[in-house]
Amino acid sequence: MKLILRADDLGISEGVNYGILKAIQDGVISCVGLMPNMESAKHGYQLIKDLDICLGQHTNICLGKPVCSPDLIPSLVNENGEFYSSHDINHRQEDTINILECELEIEAQLQRFIEITGQKPEYFEGHAVFSRNYLQALENVAARHHLFYDNPMDQQWQKQYRIQSLDFFAFDESGLYDPYQYFESQLSNIQRNECSLVVFHPGYLDQYILEHSSYTLIRPMECEFLCSQWLKDWLKHHHIEVASFRDYQ
């Protein structure tokens, strides 16, 4: 039995960067996704660059400014030249994202990733947007550059790579959940699968996150849980091996 523990949002803010660093050094995170367009992306990479971690691109088209000139990607940006929010995109009745424009921005973020890290991402996926056009653009760019495309919501992808995504968390009215109870509830799924995948958003809070993210209190809570002795003992007791996308390429 194997389990991939993925941390998203490296680069979204300095506070999150420090929390992800702790979740790698003192916890069990095996894969980290960098958001190349964000102002704190370089800061985040510098913190974790010497650690043995599988580093991917967490492509972002719903927060902050694009890497491309806004004039080239009008379907992705508002009148201020900033991305539309994920809430706005995901609640549209019609998918108005232009695939070719989206590919331009994804390509630009890939080049920014390479500029920051000196290497191609070890896996490739997207942040917070469920548009079919966006996912198609991600898949197209990944294929063009021979990148490992991570799409755990796609059953065909799960079958191809023999990686099963665990159930989504059930949030309470505070936007939190009980991670200990969650892992206990997912044990039978983990034992049944060759490899399972679960995604976290560890981090510390700063003003940017409080103003720009719906994920707030969940971040330090997950950071503490991922570093807990309980989780390390639980994985060992159930003979669950921590894996990464490197094992499936």
State the CATH number of the domain containing residue 64. 3.20.20.370
Asked if 182 and 171 touch (Cβ cutoff 8 Å), the reply is no
Residues in the chain: 249
Mention every residue, 6+ apart, whose C-beta is less than 8 A from residue 160: none
In the block, which residue shows the tokens 């209190």? 217
Q: Any bridge partners for residue 7, and if so which?
A: 32, 200
d(CA 71, CA 238): 53
What average pLDDT does the segment 48-58 reach? 98
Q: From CA 73, how far away is CA 104, in angstroms rounded?
A: 8
Phi then psi for residue 103, to 5 deg, are -60, -40
Q: What is the pTM of this model?
A: 0.97
Q: CA–CA separation, 125 vs 123, rounded Å?
A: 7
| pLDDT tens by residue, 136-194 | 999 999 999 999 999 999 999 999 999 999 999 999 999 999 999 999 999 999 999 99
Confidence (pLDDT) at 101: 98
| Crossing angle (nearest 10°) for helices 229-237 and 179-192 | 20
204 or 248, higher pLDDT? 204
Element at 3 (helix H, strand E): strand 2-10
Provide the 8-state DSSP code for 83. Answer: B
**Residue ranges of E strands in 94-202:** 124-126, 164-165, 195-200
- Quick check: 71 pLDDT over 90? yes
Model confidence at 222, pLDDT cuts 50, 70, 90, reads: very high
| Mean of pLDDT over the chain | 97
Q: What is the pLDDT of residue 44?
A: 98
Structural domain that includes position 15? 2-248
> Taking 90 as the threshold, does the pLDDT of residue 249 lie above it?
no
Residue 129 predicted with pLDDT over 90: yes
The 10s digit of each residue's pLDDT in 1-39 is: 999 999 999 999 999 999 999 999 999 999 999 999 999
% of the chain with per-residue pLDDT over 90:
98
Cα 90 to Cα 62, 85, 97, distances in angstroms: 10, 9, 11
Question: Is a pLDDT exceeding 90 seen at residue 74?
Answer: yes
* pLDDT tier for residue 113 given thresholds of 50, 70 and 90: very high
Tokens for 82, please give them: 């900033």
- What's at 242, amino acid-wise? V
- Supply the angle between the helices 99-117 and 132-144 in degrees, to the nearest 10: 50
Domains of the chain: total: 1
**C-beta separation of 89 from 66 below 8 A:** no
Q: State residue 224's pLDDT score.
A: 98
Q: What is the mean pLDDT of residues 221-242?
A: 98
Both ends of the chain: CA-CA distance in Å? 18
User: Smallest Cα–Cα separation from 126: which of 105, 144, 155, 100?
Assistant: 105
Helix axes 14-25, 41-48, angle to 10 degrees: 20
